[in-house]
């Protein structure tokens, strides 16, 4: 990747769905990662400039399901002002579609539980930034986590320190959740029957192998917070 000639993309990904939700960036990365191997995808027809959280989701999911070490987004990432620039004027490029069908395939691969009872909700994979912790705190303010459900949010020490000072961790703690620093939900030692919910395709991909649990739900942060409050999974892909 330090050599210019190796940085060109060689698989065009024709994106046919609206990419507003963070969830869909995870799903796109997860699906494309499972399809392209070591190739470099070039995402086309994305009209929304993604924020850092969405880019992190795309990166994390792409490396979890495959081996994507670099990608381009035409008109958005620095080396891709045009498709021609991103591909180095490459000819006969492979073309991959990401539409509703492909999104559904990725979603169903990540959701595998026979029970709608949720024991543990894990958020922050990759580690939650301050904006995500602020959002989660807003969803939890004045509410309580279900008595049979645990909520864990993981982040790094500097973000945890700032969240402490701004009162976000206190709001989460009052609701019954906890914020971990420099840790990961995959370190949990649980019974194989434990049902997880998470908003990260990376986390959903690794939970079964790392914890032994075969019961995982994946969805939006909002769906995960509702699961933490109600103890039930009600997420769906519309």
According to DSSP, residue 112 is labeled B
For residues 103 and 168, membership in a common domain is answered with no
Provide the pLDDT confidence category of residue 145 given band limits of 50, 70 and 90.
very high
Domain boundary among 110, 132, 153: 110
The predicted pLDDT at position 8 comes to 97
Gap between the Cα atoms of 238 and 173, Å rounded: 32
Task: Specify the pTM.
Answer: 0.94
For residues 176 and 220, membership in a common domain is answered with yes
235 occurs within a structural domain? no
Q: Which two tokens stand for residue 203?
A: 């986390």
For residues 128 and 160, membership in a common domain is answered with yes
**Residue ranges making up the domain that contains 14:** 4-110
% of residues, the chain, pLDDT over 70: 100
The per-residue pLDDT of the chain, averaged, comes to: 95
For residues 178 and 82, membership in a common domain is answered with no
How many structural domains does the chain have?
A: 2
Residue 127 predicted with pLDDT over 90: yes
Gap between the Cα atoms of 62 and 26, Å rounded: 8
Domain boundary among 58, 91, 110: 110
């Amino acid at each position: 990747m330090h050599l210019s000639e190796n940085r060109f993309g060689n698989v065009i990904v024709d994106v046919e769905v609206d990419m507003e939700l963070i969830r869909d960036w995870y799903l796109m990365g997860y699906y494309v990662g499972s399809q392209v191997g070591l190739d470099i995808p070039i995402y086309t027809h994305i009209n929304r400039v993604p924020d850092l959280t969405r880019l992190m989701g795309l990166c994390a999911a792409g490396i979890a399901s495959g081996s994507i070490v670099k990608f381009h987004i035409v008109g958005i990432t620095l080396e891709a002002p045009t498709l021609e620039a991103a591909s180095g004027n490459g000819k006969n490029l492979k073309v991959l579609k990401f539409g509703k069908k492909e999104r559904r395939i990725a979603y169903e691969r990540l959701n595998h539980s026979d029970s709608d009872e949720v024991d543990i909700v894990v958020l922050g994979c990759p580690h939650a930034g301050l904006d995500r912790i602020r959002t989660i705190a807003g969803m939890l303010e004045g509410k309580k986590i279900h008595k049979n459900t645990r909520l864990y949010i993981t982040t790094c020490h500097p973000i945890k320190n700032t969240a402490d000072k701004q009162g976000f961790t206190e709001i989460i703690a009052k609701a019954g959740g906890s914020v971990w620093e420099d840790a990961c939900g995959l370190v949990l030692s649980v019974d194989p029957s434990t049902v997880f919910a998470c908003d990260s395709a990376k986390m959903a991909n690794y939970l079964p192998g790392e914890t032994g649990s075969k019961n995982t739900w994946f969805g939006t942060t909002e769906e995960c917070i509702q699961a933490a409050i109600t103890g039930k999974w009600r997420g769906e892909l519309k």
